Homo-oligomer: A and B are copies of this chain.
């Protein structure tokens, strides 16, 4: 035990400052969810492996953390018959449970399991960690929080509008400038249809997703490599190189997709959503190269990018028509969004957008010079707390220098000094740590004094 203890790679401890910052983000998002009438649920960290396996593709299955059965996990297994080349087969025999990989599959399982207790439309949010046995790297963790809101049991496009509204509201409160990119899987299907390659939807979208990175000519080459006919590639070109405003491009798409019923439906859905969402708040922009989640999204696709720092997508979502089919409950349509808490955290850190109040230390430290002084401090601390002011009494009768450096390091805004004189006079000497000033006031006035002098706090990080 002599070596310094550590945590598993890809996991993190969150310090007090990190927690204060993360709580600021989650509280902001939660408050918006609440105003929109979303209810919170939680599901267990462990799900039956049968619930998780096969839901995230072969790659996802490999990234599931599996939990060893407790007790005699080898019961009924002949060690001699174990094939070391087939460890996955052994894994599912000795592990019945796994850690959740996302919040969507547990939510689908929840909806099916509790269908008789739920009212539809069901608006739920869920903020919990998920675990993936990914190779850890910068910005990619094996344990991270997801923050999802979904509305299930309603086809109405009003739900999409509400989610866009939530996105605008959240990022406006967080002071992050964003652009909201939208697309519709039906438009992508329409494109594949009109260029005569209805089965190449995924190839097409994967390629056009790269247009910004590698340019049109390389995209064309890649499409040809993927086996798309030259005519199809030519037919695709005007579509993926559309310019102009979102309204102009939607109008152009309407004529380009005139022969595709599903394509027109996609354009119409987007037009309806954009009209209802209005122009107040963050810009909503059509991006036909947006092709995330094609395995499950069936309508609207949403992605949010921060404008002032190059970090990629910080929120995503979309409409799925068959969330719960895999658990035997077909026909439940839903639409959801997921806020990328870790990336939002990185944006706020990079741009230093935390309000002082959100990450403030407790307001006041009381010094401790002995039992009588400490008793008076405890009494005053109780009064402050009853008025909602956070404070700490230094527990040990240490030298004043030590107590003051503690106050400084912990970034307390005030230190309330109670020495012999103050004790005798019924006063407190209050030191304002940011300004270096101090004043002796009546003990009874302390709460009012600390409140009145807290209107324009200095940033703790600028002390």
Query: Which positions in A face B, CB cutoff 8 Å?
Result: 1-8, 11-16, 19-20, 23, 34-37, 39-48, 51, 62-63, 65-68, 70-74, 77, 79-84, 87, 90-91, 94-97, 99, 109-110, 112-114, 117, 119, 121, 123-124, 129, 131, 133, 142-143, 151, 154-156, 158-159, 161-162, 165, 169, 276, 326-328, 361-362, 368, 374-375, 378, 382, 385, 388-397, 406, 409-410
Instruction: Say whether, besides A84-B79, A119-B406, A5 and B327 are in contact (CB < 8 Å).
Output: yes
**Which of B45, B114, B129, B362 sits near A37, CB closer than 8 Å?**
B362
Chain B residues with CB below 8 A from A1, complex form: 326-328
**Which of B161, B165, B395 sits near A156, CB closer than 8 Å?**
B395
* Whole-angstrom CA separation of A214 from B76 in the bound complex: 44
* Whole-angstrom CA separation of A238 from B79 in the bound complex: 61
Q: Can you sample 27 A-B contacts with CB below 8 Å?
A: A1-B327, A3-B328, A5-B327, A6-B48, A6-B113, A7-B47, A8-B48, A11-B44, A11-B46, A13-B44, A13-B114, A15-B117, A19-B39, A34-B362, A35-B391, A37-B362, A45-B143, A65-B68, A65-B70, A66-B67, A72-B87, A74-B87, A79-B81, A154-B396, A156-B396, A161-B378, A162-B393
Beyond the given pairs A46-B143, A74-B84, A158-B393, 7 more chain A to chain B contacts, judged by CB atoms under 8 angstroms and listed by A's residue number, are A7-B51, A13-B43, A14-B43, A15-B114, A79-B84, A119-B409, A158-B395
Shortest Cβ distance from A191 into chain B, in angstroms? Answer: 28
* Whole-angstrom CA separation of A161 from B39 in the bound complex: 38
Instruction: Say whether, besides A1-B327, A79-B80, A7 and B44 are in contact (CB < 8 Å).
Output: yes
Chain B residues with CB below 8 A from A151, complex form: 395
**Which of B4, B79, B378 sits near A276, CB closer than 8 Å?**
B378
* Whole-angstrom CA separation of A114 from B156 in the bound complex: 51
Chain B residues with CB below 8 A from A14, complex form: 41-43
Shortest Cβ distance from A311 into chain B, in angstroms? Answer: 23
Chain B residues with CB below 8 A from A77, complex form: 84
Indicate if the CB atoms of A46 and B8 lie closer than 8 Å: yes
Closest to A43 in B: B13
Instruction: Say whether, besides A19-B42, A37-B390, A44-B7, A68 and B70 are in contact (CB < 8 Å).
Output: no
* Whole-angstrom CA separation of A72 from B84 in the bound complex: 8
Indicate if the CB atoms of B74 and A82 lie closer than 8 Å: yes
Chain B residues with CB below 8 A from A35, complex form: 385, 388-391
Chain B residues with CB below 8 A from A143, complex form: 44-46
Instruction: Say whether, besides A80-B79, A165-B382, A19 and B5 are in contact (CB < 8 Å).
Output: no
* Whole-angstrom CA separation of A82 from B96 in the bound complex: 21
Indicate if the CB atoms of B396 and A7 lie closer than 8 Å: no
Chain B residues with CB below 8 A from A406, complex form: 119
Chain B residues with CB below 8 A from A95, complex form: 68
Chain B residues with CB below 8 A from A389, complex form: 35
